[in-house]
Amino acid sequence: MSIENVISSAIVRTFSDKLLNHLEVDVAIVGGGPSALVAAHDLAKNGAKVALFERKLAPGGGTWGGGMLFNEVVVQSDATGILDDFGIRYEPIPGADGYFTLDSVEMASALIYGAVHAGAKIFNAMSVEDIIFKNEKVGGLVINWTPVERLGMHVDPLTVVASCVLDGTGHPSEIMNLAVNKAHIELNTPTGKILGEKPMWVDSGEASTVANTLEYFPGLFACGMSANNVMGGYRMGPIFGGMLMSGRKVAKLIQEKLGK
């Protein structure tokens, strides 16, 4: 076989095996932001079969750009244990006890590496365009290539069956929106609908991100900014402790659900 064909056939074969092996999973995660990456890491490390679908070429979500493209972020002491788990370094902020800065590129890359090394499979450049909803149950995801979505090509999607679905899509809560508007699911919120994110209030947003990380319908969970948008929490900008702790919390909730 020519080297050209060795390369091409190896890539096609290994990618096909990877996708085939993840067409049925314990947990299908939508979005590869910081909260979802921590969840993917924790779940996979505890033995769950996890597939994460990220629309962009690079997972990491809002991590890379730091604050207004200054590529540093802030994390508070409650979440430094999670940074330690991923080998992410941080520096104390002089005069602000319990707050640290860290390099956002180091954080994004370490979270991705950690999730993959724990055993989660990441499928990048794939967008989740719908959910499977059968017999009043959320049964998985409907996926397509992002370029197909972006170019508006009329191409039918494929599906991934999952015991649990996690919406980690950040501010737009894309999966929860599909659940409410297409499946007419009543969410576990005061109105049954999405309450909508409120403006900036850093400490309230940090606390509510974790509190709002919940199972919103049997088998359907939200973490990070998606959870905050669903439950009407405040935004918080480039402080990431709440995101990391939200990922850890949702992994525990899903593990309990799966009985793992």
Q: Given the rule CB under 6 A, which residues bind ligand 48F?
A: 30-36, 53-56, 61-63, 127-128, 168-170, 174, 224-226, 235-240, 243
Residue 160 or 187 with smaller CB distance to ligand 48F:
160
Residue 245 CB, shortest distance to ligand 48F, in Å, is 11
**Buried/exposed 184-204: b ≥16 CB within 10 Å, e otherwise:** ebebebeeeebbebeeeeeee
Residue with tokens 């085939």: 20
Q: Of 243, 233, 209, 258, which Cα lies nearest the Cα of 32?
A: 243
Residue 166 CB, shortest distance to ligand 48F, in Å, is 11
Residue 202 CB, shortest distance to ligand 48F, in Å, is 9
Residue 243 CB, shortest distance to ligand 48F, in Å, is 5
- Residue 245 tokens read as 């702790």
Residue 113 CB, shortest distance to ligand 48F, in Å, is 16
User: Containing H/E element for 14?
Assistant: helix 3-21
Residue 31 or 219 with smaller CB distance to ligand 48F:
31
Residue 36 or 82 with smaller CB distance to ligand 48F:
36
Residue 73 CB, shortest distance to ligand 48F, in Å, is 8
Residue 27 or 225 with smaller CB distance to ligand 48F:
225
Residue 1 or 81 with smaller CB distance to ligand 48F:
81
Four-residue CA torsion sign, 92, 94, 98, 102: negative
Cα of first residue to Cα of last residue in the chain, in angstroms, is 45
Cβ contact 43:67 at 8 Å: no
Residue 144 or 163 with smaller CB distance to ligand 48F:
144
Cβ contact 14:36 at 8 Å: no
User: Containing H/E element for 111?
Assistant: helix 104-118
